Amino acid sequence: MLMRTDSLRDFDRLTQQFFGPARPEAMQMDAYRSDGDLIVHFDLPGIDPETIDLGVERNVLSVRAERRSPAPEGVDVIVTERPSGTFTRQLFLGDTLDTERIDASYDAGVLTLRIPVAEQAKPRRIEISRGNGDNPKQLSS
């Protein structure tokens, strides 16, 4: 049997076991515009939906979620690679988004937000009227 070791990774695992993660894990996300809405997906695997907190204040969307360790207290943890604790992320939303009508859903470890684009910000076609041509304006040079 061939075993591959990485001493730095082993050391990182050991320090995480005793001191927790060295850096907070990022809340991964994708965002795109579709059918007049901004769609944002946050990866939150293993998160209890009851711990997710969403809020908007002055066009700043805040997402907060907590993942608890599945290991009961008092057990000897062998490996802990999955981050636990509180995760937060803030998005700065433009004035063109309707923050009063944000729709949020959580399914299969993904938090999805649907943020409508405000009506006044949606692209629209401007009709150009034709003059009747009776009095064309002369340009003088």
24-69+78-120 topology per CATH: Immunoglobulin-like (2.60.40)
pLDDT exceeds cutoff 50 at 4: no
Q: Give CA 59 to chain center in angstroms.
A: 14
Sorted by sequence, the CB contacts under 8 Å of residue 106 that are 6+ apart come out as 44, 47, 49, 52, 112
- Read off the pLDDT of residues 11-69 as tens digits, 9 standing for 90 and up: 666 666 666 655 555 689 999 999 889 999 999 998 999 999 999 998 899 999 999 88
Higher pLDDT pick, 40 / 81 = 40
Query: What pairs with residue 55 in β-bridges?
Result: 62
* pLDDT at site 118: 80
DSSP conformation class of 78:
S
CA distance 61 to 68: 23
Of 123, 121, 106, the closest CA to residue 42 belongs to: 106
